[in-house]
Amino acid sequence: MRYDLMIDFWRRFLRNKGAVLGLGILLIVLLVAALAPLLYSYSPWSMVQRPFLPPFDREGFLFGTDTLGRDIGAGLAFGAQISLLVGIVSTLVALAIGVILGAFAGYYGGLLDQALMRFTEFFQTIPSFALAIVLVAIFQPSTISVIIAIGVVSWPPVARLVRGEFLSLRSREFVQASVVLGQRNTKIIVSQILPNTLSPVIVMASLMVAQAILLESSLSFLGLGDPNTMSWGYMIGAARSVIRQAWWMSFFPGMAILLTVLSLNLVGEGLNDALNPHLARKGR
């Protein structure tokens, strides 16, 4: 039965040509990030050629070099590791916070629901990017502080989504049957209701990874990223003063961010169609 469900899922997903394209781009980015140490034997911080070498001008330096003679290609490959790491881990942090708070608020209701929703609304009134800047500045710029900051500013939409799903599911027959049988509330939440909320959460998670990559790039652009790691945002920030002289220094990292975020959004759309076929058909 589960095998048939997986076949149906992939059949619906593959019908969405944009999702297939997005998945292909995302797999390429993942492959480049995984093979970065093999593709480039030197550090992205190493000066390996003359400064301002244009792209396609010298064999082995397809994307050219920057102001210090560092390989742009190496920066793109190693920067993919940081962008994906921050995007995925910060999304997991946001999901952990949002799912827990949303589940308790939606299942128990009453005063607990009101208190948790007012707490959520408080975070939503603060601009996400501004709060992320403050948090990173407080904890000092590092990969861990960036992950924590992005996770903290990203959880409120997850909490509201999970709360809504729990509110609609807690009165269903299978939940009431579990209550009658004497199952503990935590077991009902984890084993009965939570699995039925995974579809919209998975779709939201794919979009949150894209948003996290944009946030990380913006923080690195402002100089609030980890100073010891190469990232796409840092590369664009370092190139802003020479954008007319060396266009490729900001163009290639910008295209990497664009394609990665676009691919994640396309995959999210495909997941939505595959996991919610009735809504997809209704939309058409």
- Of 16, 223, 35, 248, the residue nearest 136 (C-alpha): 223
Q: What angle do CA 263, 266, 268 make, to 5 degrees?
A: 110
Computed over every residue of the chain, the mean pLDDT equals 91
**What would the pLDDT profile of 63-84 be if each residue is shown by its tens digit?**
999 999 999 999 999 999 999 9
**Could you say which architecture CATH assigns to the domain 82-266?**
Orthogonal Bundle (1.10)
The SS3 call for residue 47 is strand
Mean per-residue pLDDT for 97-109? 94
User: Tokens at residue 75, please?
Assistant: 């920066």
CA atoms of 65 and 46, how far apart (whole Å):
11
On whether the CB atoms of residues 267 and 207 are closer than 8 A, the answer is no
Dihedral of CA 188/190/195/199: which sign?
Answer: positive
User: Tokens at residue 10, please?
Assistant: 């992939």
What 8-state DSSP symbol labels residue 223? T
- Of 127, 155, 131, the residue nearest 145 (C-alpha): 131
Instruction: Using the predicted structure, report yes or no on whether residue 275 has a pLDDT greater than 90.
Output: no
- Facing residues of 119 across strands? none
- Written as one string, the DSSP assignment of 224-235 is -S-TTS--HHHH
Per residue, the 3-state secondary structure of 55-92, as one string, reads CCCECCECCCECCCCEEHHHHHHHHHHHHHHHHHHHHH
Mean per-residue pLDDT for 138-158? 94
**What would the pLDDT profile of 185-233 be if each residue is shown by its tens digit?**
889 998 889 988 989 999 999 999 999 999 999 999 999 998 889 999 9
CA atoms of 206 and 200, how far apart (whole Å):
10
Q: What would you measure as the largest C-alpha separation in the chain, in angstroms?
A: 75
pLDDT category at 273 given cuts 50, 70, 90 is confident
pTM of the model: 0.91
